[in-house]
Amino acid sequence: MHPVRQPVLAAGLTALATAATLGLAPGAAVAAPAASPSISVNWFGTADRQAHTATVRGRFDCGAERGLAYIEVHLDQRRGAVTGFGFGVIGACTDERTAGTWTATIPADQGRFRPGPATVIARLVIEPNSLTETTEPVRLRPHCARP
């Protein structure tokens, strides 16, 4: 054999051994990994100083997961001076509903949320065992009551 062909032959034998180990026939397609759940937060939210709350929104995608789903939201403003925790109810991830939007109104633990920068930690929980998290900056705007 020519020396140039030995690496090609060795590579071919390695590929066949790998396919045999995995139980694949040569040329068989490998399934793509299932899509992972994801969550995002909109850049802007609202602060309602009179109600001591803030409202944030975003989008979610269930990926390949199915089950009861909800959003947990932690909001931190002014480096921990004002914090809060709330939920966004989205129902369930089903074959008919795999993505959508969420809204959460977060009451302040103490103090008041005010217009300005804040940090959101949002978690998408899909029961029984899926958790996806994101930490994103958000800018709170004043809440304007509509007549």
The pLDDT of residue 89? 85
Per domain, the residue ranges of the chain are: 1-31, 38-142
The pLDDT of residue 145? 66
The pLDDT of residue 143? 80
The pLDDT of residue 79? 76
Closest CA to 102 of 37, 10, 39: 39
The pLDDT of residue 144? 77
CA distance 81 to 113: 9
Dihedral angle of Cα 79, 80, 86, 90, to the nearest 10 degrees: 30
CA distance 70 to 82: 24
Tens of pLDDT, residue by residue, the chain (147 residues): 455 455 544 545 455 444 444 444 455 555 555 689 999 999 999 999 889 999 999 999 999 999 999 999 999 998 778 999 999 989 899 999 999 999 999 999 988 999 999 999 999 999 988 899 999 999 999 987 665
Per CATH, domain 38-142 is 3.40.50.10470: no
